[in-house]
Structure 1
Amino acid sequence: MMTNKGLALVQRDASGVDLAFRGDVLEGLSASPKAIPARWLYDDAGSQLFEDITRLPEYYPTRAETEILQTRAAEFADLIGPGRAVVEFGSGSSVKTPLLLSAIEPASYVPLDIAGDFLRAAAADLAQKFPGLPVHPVEVDFMRRVELPEEVADQPKLGFFPGSTIGNMVARTAVDLLRSMRETLYRENEGGTGAQLLIGMDLIKDEDVLVAAYDDAAGVTAEFNCNLVRRINRELEGDIPLDKLRHEARWNDDYARIEMHLVAQEAIGFTVSGEAFGMEKGETIHTENSHKFNRRTSNMLLLAGGWEPVRRWLDAEERFSMILAEARPPRSAP
């Protein structure tokens, strides 16, 4: 059953423009090199395109993570236990989220997402699949601490962050997010006892496999990347010439990440929200990172964010990892 009062905490101006979106876009286009945070790829159209990407033959992470959720359900049930409020950072996948909810007998489900229509559709779908489960969607930018619905205040929390979305962020932003997740989940439980986080992290592997996953033969990922420009033009009164930009995925070995860029094919000029910008031929807008991890780097990232790793699972081909971590009181000594 889904509550019909999903909390809307996104700040908008009188015309309905998301203030954080406009601020990030204008700041990113003014920077050198140009870059826009990856979370703005996920409006309703972008979220649907990403769902399409997860079904592509080149895109292995969803299949690998689904395999882990299917084959390790009994271990999840044992380590997580029943009766938790599952707080998902990002609207639930039609495949992965039901697998987790079926395994652990949750008390409630709280999906958080900035794309309101996609959020409500995903929440309604989950409510139909689990008719006895209270579902409380919250439209919010979960990059900051979230005020959860009062209905789940007394329930122990499990944060769910699948898909290696944490890899989209640079290290500082990733740590900030993990800390804000800890504040969202930890403070609700009598000092935080029992707050957990189940998170997906993709693994370092062959460069050709990685690049193909972000530059598929059907061009769906290119459409996903270009949709950001369509959103800017539509919501921020932009006139960026999309036909003069090209999607590119590249491997950056120094930072162990795939990067997505929009590359100018010639010198262009454009305006967004009344401000003028320009790009030289070959200049890019950096739209997404997808960092890849190994056991040491994933553990270090979690610890920096206030989470202690408890158990790590890999798929059969060792392409992807899921990690269960627990919130711990801050320590400044061994």
Structure 2
Amino acid sequence: MSPFALTRTLPPDATTAALRADVAIGLTRTPKELPPKWFYDARGSELFDEITRLPEYYPTRAEREILHARAGEIAEVVRPRTLVELGSGSSDKTRHLLRALPSIDHYVPVDVSESALTGGAETLLAERPELTVHALVADFQYGLALPAVPGPRVLAFLGGTIGNLRPAERAVFLATVRSGLAPGDAFLLGTDLVKDERTLVAAYDDAAGVTAAFNKNVLSVVNRELGADFDHDDFDHVALWDAREEWIEMRLRARSPVIVKVPALDLAVHFAAGEELRTEISAKFRQERVYAELATAGLEPVRWWTDPEGRFALSLSVPVSLTA
């Protein structure tokens, strides 16, 4: 078998169609909203990589600390041959995990970006030429159709990305994960934890303004892909903590009344002064909440790890039917 294969389960025009639908619905509803996945064009991915190196942004460092410290335990519990990573991007955050799990000889990165998958695979294969990489261009929120790879498998969803999903969306996603697990498989989940408001807000509103640029990049995507005329200078970046929902919200707030035209949709969008466009939620978790949501989906946690400061957690779960 070739060391690299790529399968596309998304139609070639699926991304454009999804963007058109999200913009048409999101900019005509009250309050206005766009999904965070549209941050991540090439420029957005560069900005996010920069965010992960900022002193205020702790999640990436905290998760990496846990992975370094606990990879051996993951290997002891599962002894995996295959790692499946959802939302893998460039696969940078799993490189050290693969190094620490010598039993893995197959890697299945899943992402909507073919270029990110190809670039990540090239880097990994340079380090581990014996690895077989089967990249999957897919949107995991709409189901999982994984290639035939040897088990046991670890299916990983890292970076706290599950926090971008609302509770009902998380329930559907976790049920989909459970349905895709076979005997001997496990699910590795990264979750950012509830902590003081100051630390949380600073992580999404850094002093250097990188997160503000990242937030506004969604406007550039809509401009480029749909011919819109958003002006970055018309909007301020806003990050706030919703204590009731226990999530961070990122928003773009209109500085003055503005009308934005989206020619591809024959749409004119009116913003009042101070009106906000929500671009991301990032839920934060407590252990009991993670356990409850996993249990509802039919998953049983067998390990729970946090970094030394208790900022971030990794949980390793298996299907309930396999724990009896």
Aligned AA for 1:98?
A: R
Identity of aligned residues (%): 42
Q: In the alignment, is the contact (CA less than 8 A) between 2:105 and 2:130 conserved in 1?
A: no
Q: 1:173 aligns with which of 149, 169, 173?
A: 169
**Partner of 2:18 in structure 1?**
20
Aligned-pair distance for 1:310?
A: 1.2
1:151-190 paired onto structure 2 within 5 Å: 152=149, 154-183=150-179, 185-186=180-181
Aligned AA for 1:9?
A: T
1:138-149 paired onto structure 2 within 5 Å: 138-149=136-147
Aligned AA for 2:189?
A: I
Render the CA deviation track for 1:279-308: whole Å, top value 9, x for unaligned.
111111111111111111111122233322
Aligned-pair distance for 1:157?
A: 2.2
Aligned-pair distance for 1:123?
A: 2.0
**Partner of 2:96 in structure 1?**
99
Aligned AA for 2:160?
A: S
Render the CA deviation track for 1:222-261: whole Å, top value 9, x for unaligned.
1111111100110122122222011111011010111000
Aligned-pair distance for 1:5?
A: 4.1
**Partner of 1:249 in structure 2?**
239
Aligned-pair distance for 1:139?
A: 1.4
Render the CA deviation track for 1:187-234: whole Å, top value 9, x for unaligned.
xxxxx2122110110111111111110011111111111111100110
Q: In the alignment, is the contact (CA less than 8 A) between 2:247 and 2:284 conserved in 1?
A: yes
Q: Tell me, what secondary structure is at the counterpart of 1:64? A: helix
Aligned AA for 2:178?
A: R
Q: Which moved more, 1:57-66 or 1:22-31?
A: 22-31
**Partner of 1:189 in structure 2?**
none
**Partner of 1:239 in structure 2?**
229
Identify if the C-alpha distance between structure 1 residues 328 and 95 changes in structure 2 by more than 3 Å, giving closer, same or farther.
same
Q: In the alignment, is the contact (CA less than 8 A) between 1:307 and 1:327 conserved in 2?
A: yes
Aligned-pair distance for 1:115?
A: 2.1
**Partner of 1:35 in structure 2?**
33
Q: 2:115 aligns with which of 94, 114, 117?
A: 117
Identify if the C-alpha distance between structure 1 residues 307 and 25 changes in structure 2 by more than 3 Å, giving closer, same or farther.
farther
**Partner of 1:302 in structure 2?**
294
Q: Are 2:277 and 1:285 aligned?
A: yes
Aligned AA for 1:140?
A: A
Q: In the alignment, is the contact (CA less than 8 A) between 2:80 and 2:151 conserved in 1?
A: no
Aligned-pair distance for 1:12?
A: 4.2
Q: In the alignment, is the contact (CA less than 8 A) between 1:88 and 1:112 conserved in 2?
A: yes
Q: Which moved more, 1:196-205 or 1:300-309?
A: 300-309
**Partner of 1:10 in structure 2?**
10
Q: Which moved more, 1:155-164 or 1:58-67?
A: 155-164
Structure 1 CA distance for aligned equivalents of residues 244 and 96 of structure 2 = 36
Q: 1:227 aligns with which of 217, 230, 236?
A: 217
Aligned AA for 1:262?
A: L
Q: Tell me, what secondary structure is at the counterpart of 2:141? A: coil
Q: Tell me, what secondary structure is at the counterpart of 2:27? A: helix
Identify if the C-alpha distance between structure 1 residues 35 and 305 changes in structure 2 by more than 3 Å, giving closer, same or farther.
farther
Structure 1 CA distance for aligned equivalents of residues 267 and 169 of structure 2 = 27
Q: Which moved more, 1:102-111 or 1:88-97?
A: 88-97
Q: Any gaps of 5 or more consecutive residues in structure 1?
A: 187-191
Q: Are 2:193 and 1:197 aligned?
A: no
Aligned AA for 1:29?
A: L
What's the RMSD between the two structures over aligned residues?
A: 2.1
Q: In the alignment, is the contact (CA less than 8 A) between 1:114 and 1:140 conserved in 2?
A: yes
Render the CA deviation track for 1:263-291: whole Å, top value 9, x for unaligned.
11111111222222111111111111111
Structure 1 CA distance for aligned equivalents of residues 146 and 198 of structure 2 = 41
**Partner of 2:267 in structure 1?**
275
Identify if the C-alpha distance between structure 1 residues 2 and 170 changes in structure 2 by more than 3 Å, giving closer, same or farther.
farther
TM-score norm. by structure 2 comes to 0.92
